[in-house]
């Protein structure tokens, strides 16, 4: 078995971690995991009312939202390929319906009754959008699903934000998320400086990638895509990225970490942006070339949280690939075991048998001492 595209994407994400940044997390203190709920069924309102004051009602709704966020934070990120996105959407639809039932238990003060009903009503549009995106993901249409997120679900999100703001909610406001802080971008580590350096900059790599995608020329797209993506210009869809390009609002920030570079793009007002990862390709003049596009949650390129083991994880993953050792590689990859279940998901990154060893020099270039 060759190293699959999704495993290559997972490895690219790990490489980003070791050279200086985190894809997720707010960079603050870790939450109290002992008291945080692990499933949506465990989420309970601190009080259901009836509430006398608007402030107490908003505080109860925000507490419910924060508990739900703790559950969502436990989700494995699988959405970089259609089957994984479908699994995430199934879970989000089910958990969203459970959470809606919790919100419906709250009894607002009379002054907010009408506004709260407007807020709850947005759940219908959100559910319809998620179900549509799920059907597209099940049909292997990742771009179509992304178009739903950036289109109708974005509109529902704006309506829900407006209703939440009128109610005095804070947690539920997407606009409260600090998605990308240009003044708080992680600096490259010593490992990044000591590693092999690319022949181009992240800005040059990004400009060439966007120009290639906008050209809708598959051969041009192949030229800016990393060798390990195994991109075939003869079978590509030249219009595959049209929906994403239309939703793009601009480049937010770039940063280079030695042989890895990241460009963060905005997609619509207050929507979670995505970051595009470029990795040095020794087979193409040591240029930074496109590998994957990954979602960014709160924090973006902020410095990593203290106490994480990214360095050791990446070291072990690269060694396992060099040694053609699938069992060792499994130890470094997420098992994707959803909360409340005992077994990994069918589309887990875990390998269940030997894989065909890739050219060692492709990985040798990622570390200076080899």
Query: Starting from the edge strand earliest in sequence, which strands make up the sheet with 260-267, in order?
Result: 248-257, 260-267, 274-281, 287-295
Q: Which residue, 129, 159, 176, sits at the end of a domain?
A: 176
13 and 87 inside one domain = no
Flag the least confident range among 240-249, 303-312, 357-366.
357-366
306 and 192 inside one domain = yes
Task: Judge whether 137 and 88 are in contact, CB under 8 Å.
Answer: no
d(CA 231, CA 239): 15
Quote the tokens at residue 268. 């619509």
Query: How much is the mean pLDDT over the chain?
Result: 76
Q: Is residue 111 in a domain?
A: yes
Of the pLDDT bands very low, low, confident and very high (cuts 50, 70, 90), residue 285 is: very high
Q: Answer yes or no: is pLDDT of 322 > 50.
A: yes
98 and 224 inside one domain = no
Quote the tokens at residue 191. 């490992």
Flag the least confident range among 38-42, 279-283, 356-360.
356-360
15 and 101 inside one domain = no
113 and 191 inside one domain = no
pLDDT at 38: 82
Give mean pLDDT, residues 72-94: 77
Q: Give 105 or 180, the one with higher predicted confidence.
A: 105
Q: Is residue 12 in a domain?
A: yes
Q: Give 77 or 87, the one with higher predicted confidence.
A: 87
172 and 189 inside one domain = no
Quote the tokens at residue 176. 């409260």
Give mean pLDDT, residues 169-175: 71
User: Range of 338's domain?
Assistant: 5-25+179-364
Tell me the backbone φ, ψ of residue 341, rounded to 5 degrees. Answer: -115, 160
165 and 183 inside one domain = no
Q: Give 250 or 208, the one with higher predicted confidence.
A: 208
Q: Considering the chain, what percentage of its residues have pLDDT values greater than 70?
A: 65
Q: Is residue 170 in a domain?
A: yes
Distance separating the N- and C-terminal Cα atoms of the chain: 25
pLDDT at 173: 62
d(CA 105, CA 230): 51
**Chain position carrying tokens 């703790």:** 70
pLDDT at 311: 72
336-367 residue pLDDT tens: 555 455 665 554 454 444 555 444 444 333 33
pLDDT at 327: 75
164 and 189 inside one domain = no
Q: Answer yes or no: is pLDDT of 13 > 80.
A: no
- What letter would DSSP give residue 199? S
279 and 337 inside one domain = yes
Q: Which residue, 145, 176, 207, sits at the end of a domain?
A: 176
Q: Is residue 35 in a domain?
A: no
d(CA 165, CA 47): 21
170 and 200 inside one domain = no
Of the pLDDT bands very low, low, confident and very high (cuts 50, 70, 90), residue 269 is: low
pLDDT at 323: 82
Q: Answer yes or no: is pLDDT of 27 > 50.
A: no
Q: Is residue 328 in a domain?
A: yes
189-207 residue pLDDT tens: 888 888 899 999 999 999 9
Q: Is residue 224 in a domain?
A: yes
203 and 348 inside one domain = yes
Q: Is residue 31 in a domain?
A: no
Please tell me the total count of domains within the chain: 2
Q: Answer yes or no: is pLDDT of 132 > 90.
A: yes
Q: Give 128 or 12, the one with higher predicted confidence.
A: 128
Q: Which residue, 154, 176, 198, sits at the end of a domain?
A: 176
Flag the least confident range among 146-160, 167-181, 246-260, 312-326.
167-181
d(CA 82, CA 347): 10
The helix/strand/coil state of 122 is helix
Q: Is residue 30 in a domain?
A: no
15 and 80 inside one domain = no
158-171 residue pLDDT tens: 899 899 999 999 88
């Amino acid at each position: 078995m060759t190293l699959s595209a999704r495993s290559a994407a997972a490895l690219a994400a790990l490489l980003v971690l070791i050279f200086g940044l985190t894809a997720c997390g707010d960079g603050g203190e870790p939450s109290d995991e002992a008291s945080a709920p692990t499933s949506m069924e465990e989420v309970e309102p601190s009080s259901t009312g009836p509430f006398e004051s608007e402030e107490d009602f908003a505080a109860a709704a925000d507490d419910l939202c924060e508990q739900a966020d703790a559950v969502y934070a436990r989700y494995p990120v699988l959405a970089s390929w259609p089957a994984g996105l479908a699994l995430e959407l199934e879970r989000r639809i089910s958990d969203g319906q459970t959470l809606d039932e919790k919100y419906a238990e709250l009894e607002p003060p009379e002054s907010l009754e009408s506004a709260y009903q407007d807020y709850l009503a947005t759940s219908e549009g959100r559910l319809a959008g998620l179900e549509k995106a799920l059907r597209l993901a099940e049909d292997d249409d990742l771009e179509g699903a992304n178009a739903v997120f950036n289109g109708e679900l974005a509109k529902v999100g704006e309506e829900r934000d407006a209703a939440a703001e009128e109610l005095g909610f804070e947690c539920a406001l997407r606009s409260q998320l600090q998605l990308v802080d240009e003044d708080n971008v992680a600096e490259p580590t010593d490992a990044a400086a000591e590693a092999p350096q690319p022949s181009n900059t992240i800005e040059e790599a990004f400009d060439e990638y966007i120009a290639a995608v906008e050209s809708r020329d598959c051969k041009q797209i192949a030229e800016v895509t990393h060798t390990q993506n195994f991109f075939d210009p003869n079978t590509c869809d030249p219009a595959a990225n049209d929906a994403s390009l239309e939703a793009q609002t601009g480049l937010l920030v770039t940063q280079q970490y030695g042989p890895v570079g990241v460009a963060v793009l905005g997609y619509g007002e207050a929507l979670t942006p995505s970051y595009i990862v470029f990795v040095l390709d020794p087979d193409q003049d040591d240029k930074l070339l496109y590998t994957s596009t990954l979602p960014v949650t709160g924090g973006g390129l902020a410095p990593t949280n203290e106490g994480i083991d990214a360095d050791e994880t990446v070291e072990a993953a690269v060694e396992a690939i060099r040694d053609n050792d699938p069992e060792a590689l499994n130890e470094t990859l997420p098992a994707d075991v959803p909360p409340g279940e005992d077994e990994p998901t069918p589309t887990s990154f875990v390998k269940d048998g030997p894989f065909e060893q890739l050219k060692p020099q492709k990985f040798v270039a990622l570390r200076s001492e080899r």
